[in-house]
Each structure stands twice: as C-alpha cells, then as structure tokens.
Amino acid sequence: MGRRNLPSDRRRAGAAPSAPAVFDPATLSLTGWWRANFASIPWAGTASAGTSAAKNLTNVGDVDPTTGTAQNGLTPAEFNGTSQATSYAAAISNLVGASAGSVFALVRPGSAAASSGSALTDPAFWGDDGGNLCMAFSTGGVGFGFYDGVQKRIQIACTTGAYHLLQMKWNGTNAFARVDSGGWSSLAVGPIVSLVSNLSVGKQPFVAFYDFRLLDLGFASSVLSDGTFDDIKSYVNSRYGLAL
C-alpha cells in the first residue's frame, strides 16, 4: 500500500491555510528533538535533525490519521475515545531526559472524564506507560504529571471543544507548565525517577482512552527557553489559523 501524505501536508479542496511562520520546530537542530506527524497505518513519525531520526509512532486500535476534521485546511489525527491510541515502542528516555526535558502538544480535547484526583488515573492525552510523565485531562482541566519518587501534578484549567497548546518542561529541580498564552505554573520536582516505559498517546496506561484531535506533538531532551516556546506558539497560530 502506498505511503499516504502526512496530515500536516494535506489540503482539503477550497481551503487556503495561511503560510506558516518562518520559525518551524521541525527544523530545529536540538538533541533529541522529535515531532510527531502521521502517515500510513501503522503510523510513522517524521523527525527533525540529529538523534531524533526513526523515532516513530505505532498505530493501536485502527486509528486512521487521515479522517480528522481539518483545521485551517490541515488534517489532524482524531481519536475516538474508546479504542484508539498510538505509541512509541521504545524507552521514553530516547525522547527526554530525567533532569532536562520539554514537551508541547497542540490538541483539541473532547469530552472530559470525571477527575480521579490523580494524574495516574485521569484519561491521558499523552504519557509514558509507567505514569512517570503525562498530560492528563479531567473536569478540572489538564494535569501535568511528574514522578520523582512521589507522584506530583500541576493542574491548569483547560476547556474542551477547542484547540489548546499544552507546554511543559523540567530541569531536575522544578517543573513548569502552561496552556496557550497563560503564565507558567511551577512545582518543585526532582529528576524523573524512571524513563524506561514506552510513550502512549490517547490512552491513560491500563485505564481509559481519550477522545481528541491532535495536530502537533514535540519533545526535546533539553529545557527549551520561554522564547522558544513563544516561537512554537506563534508558529502553530500561523500554521493552523489559531489565536492561542
């Protein structure tokens, strides 16, 4: 079966997306930088420069990455919340570091499940299979979960039914998180205890799936500056016709 176009390159008839900003995270030469785009089933991720090559997502649950509702003429991957997920079948230490890491996700959450009060058991948009790092949604918004021997969490209000840019980073002493253009919330967090699990997207490990649309997902094994996160925000606003 021939390779399908990536959703980030697909254009629907009549759509005229604005030109992307000059800044494009896919072109950064950051060690460990990896960015998820989706092609055929099983999905294959496309990476930027350096050690991020060949870090791919594997389809789980027959997700078709070509059927999502277009945003500014660009098609997201869409998850049904009942049986669909994707994963990176290698240690998450290949993507981020215990004492230095950053993640961003451009996602439109669907119906939020009731909060369990724990980042380990809320439905997760993104997380590792051991629950050591995750972005988990609930009725209280989005929880950014960290595990440094004790499960810790930054909770930020986040509405469903609209796209949001979720941003998190940690430096071995503190973790930081924000949504869209909001201010950074911080929490004392030591080095992440375990990064040997796999990456899971769309399913909280062992508990529940989550419904959402995904346009962009990126990792870095370094602590990205506030300016770089601002550049990423400007980029997704331009590329996807948003005002986050």
Contact 120, 152 (CB under 8 A): no
pTM: 0.81
Amino acid letter, residue 9: D
User: Does 12 map to a domain?
Assistant: no
User: Does 1 map to a domain?
Assistant: no
Q: Report the SS3 class of residue 15.
A: coil
| Domain of residue 150, CATH code | 2.60.120.200
**Residues 165-209: tens digit of each pLDDT:** 999 999 999 999 999 999 999 999 999 999 988 888 877 665 677
Contact 166, 182 (CB under 8 A): no
User: Does 5 map to a domain?
Assistant: no
Contact 37, 46 (CB under 8 A): yes
How many domains does the chain divide into? 1
Buried (b) or exposed (e) across 120-150, using 16+ Cβ within 10 A?
bbbbbbbbbbbbbbbbbbbeebbbbbbbbee
In this predicted structure, what is the pLDDT of residue 219?
81
User: Does 21 map to a domain?
Assistant: no
In this predicted structure, what is the pLDDT of residue 37?
45
DSSP letter (8 states) at residue 8: G
Weakly modelled stretches of the chain, pLDDT under 50: 1-22, 29-52
User: Does 23 map to a domain?
Assistant: no
User: Does 207 map to a domain?
Assistant: yes
In this predicted structure, what is the pLDDT of residue 67?
65
The CA angle 232-233-234, to the nearest 5 degrees, is: 90
User: Does 212 map to a domain?
Assistant: yes
User: Does 73 map to a domain?
Assistant: yes
Residue 97: CB partners within 8 Å, gap ≥ 6? 32, 195, 221, 222
Residue 149 belongs to what domain range? 28-240
Q: Is 22 exposed, middle or buried (0-12, 13-18, 19+ CB in 10 A)?
A: exposed
In this predicted structure, what is the pLDDT of residue 120?
65
**Prior bond to 42 cis, omega within 30?**
yes
